[in-house]
Amino acid sequence: MSIASREVHLIARPTGMPREEEFAIVEQVVPDAADWEIQVKNVYLSVDPAMRPRLSVGQPLNEPLAGYAIGRVEQSRHPSFKEGDLVQNWSSFREYFVSSGSDVSKLDVDPALPASVYLHALGGSGFVAYGGLLEIGKLQDGEQVFVSTAAGSVGSVAVQIAKMKGCYVIGSTGSDEKCRWLKDVLGIDAVINYKTETIRTALKEKAPNGIDVYFDNVGGDHLNAALPRMNLLGRIPVCGMISAYNTPGSISAPVTTLSNIIYKRVTLRGFVGTDFMHLREQFAADMTAWLKDGRVKYRETFYDGIENAPKALIGMLNGANTGKMLVRLSG
């Protein structure tokens, strides 16, 4: 039956760090599923750094915020779906929606794993870590690896893949608690708390053999510090530049060390998951196995209720999460 559904709208464009008043929670009535349709109730919304640039360019005002979600089919008048099926979708931040089925994909959750991991370690975050390191970064066994935002949903997977490949791994993160998790649980070789240490000085000490692959999620000061430490023919897969997302015009902290790119013949490459879709099946098989046998560990931070989605997004941009930031919807 038709149902009241709340959704998150962007109502004003942020110029720096987004503020709660730039979002509104709007109620809509979602109709019943017609023939060849399904009605879906979202269960988890995925809160991602890449959402921030879209708030400046791309996300229409006064419409639901674009984002990934996992939902459950509540009504089905479509032969490919039955009630209770879980579906991954790009339905935007709303509680309910109706779909023809073409914009959702059925999710077969491994019984040993929670559905939420399909939004991070087994989803886009894990996939960009996997392909970014192996395909874009051409990571070799035993190399020297630096990962920024190492305790985040992408970084923590990158750290663990590099450790499995016998690499020496240095990570940066923003709290002592996250540093401890990286050391004690993920077995990282060295950590830098970028809020209390100078990255450039710390890297000199903690990357004594230089850096072969810098998995960059941050840009700006992190990139500026990493470049002088790069080894010959080093690779910098650029997965994100979160340091620039909240500045007008996406201007980053000044990078003045780029001449190392020529001295060390370094490759810097921005990428997204669609750059290596041929790895999708191999990734799913590998990551499912790694999660099940505990070789890849993860953490999740949940904010409950769609009314807290703006808080979750702002919190994630401020590093309030450990591991993946998710909004959990009741029911």
- Using the contact rule CB under 8 A, the part of the chain among 34-42, 189-197, 263-271, 291-299 near its own copies is 263-271
* Backbone CA torsion sign across 192, 194, 199, 201: negative
Which neighbouring-strand residues pair with 152? 323
Binding flag, residue 204, its own copies (CB under 8 A): no
Show contacts with its own copies in window 273-302 (CB under 8 A). 275
Among 258, 277, 285, 289, contact with its own copies (rule: CB under 8 A): 258
Binding flag, residue 261, its own copies (CB under 8 A): yes
Query: Which residue lies nearer to its own copies by CB, 271 or 302?
Result: 271
Q: Nearest Cα to 191, choosing from 237, 148, 160, 129?
A: 148
Gyration radius (Cα) of the chain, Å: 20
Among 240, 273, 310, 323, contact with its own copies (rule: CB under 8 A): 240
Binding flag, residue 268, its own copies (CB under 8 A): yes
Residue type, 22: E
- Using the contact rule CB under 8 A, the part of the chain among 15-23, 99-107, 267-275, 305-313 near its own copies is 267-275
How many Å apart are CA 74 and CA 40, to the nearest integer?
Answer: 5
Residue 177 C-alpha from the chain's centroid: 20
How many Å apart are CA 124 and CA 308, to the nearest integer?
Answer: 22
- Using the contact rule CB under 8 A, the part of the chain among 11-19, 175-183, 237-245, 306-314 near its own copies is 237-245
Among 16, 248, 254, 294, contact with its own copies (rule: CB under 8 A): 254
Q: What is the contact mask toward its own copies in residues 49 to 88, using x (rule: CB under 8 A)?
A: ----x-----------------------------------
Tokens (6 digits) for 16: 């720096």
In the block, which residue shows the tokens 């991602």?
Answer: 48
Show contacts with its own copies in window 14-53 (CB under 8 A). 53
Binding flag, residue 222, its own copies (CB under 8 A): no
Among 191, 241, 309, 314, contact with its own copies (rule: CB under 8 A): 241
Tokens (6 digits) for 267: 């490759």
Which residues, 6+ apart, have CB-to-CB distance to 320 below 8 Å? 301
Query: Which residue lies nearer to its own copies by CB, 54 or 328?
Result: 54
How many Å apart are CA 308 and CA 8, to the nearest integer?
Answer: 10
C-beta separation of 60 from 120 below 8 A: no
Among 29, 102, 256, 281, contact with its own copies (rule: CB under 8 A): 256
- Using the contact rule CB under 8 A, the part of the chain among 10-18, 153-161, 169-177, 250-258 near its own copies is 250-258
Could you tell me the smallest distance in angstroms from the CB atom of residue 178 to its own copies?
Answer: 23
β-strand pairing of 69-76 with 38-47 = antiparallel
Residue 167 C-alpha from the chain's centroid: 22
Among 111, 262, 278, 281, contact with its own copies (rule: CB under 8 A): 262
Among 250, 288, 301, 308, contact with its own copies (rule: CB under 8 A): 250
Residue 18 C-alpha from the chain's centroid: 18
Tokens (6 digits) for 103: 């914009």
Footprint of its own copies (CB under 8 A)? 53, 219-220, 223, 238-241, 244-245, 250-272, 275
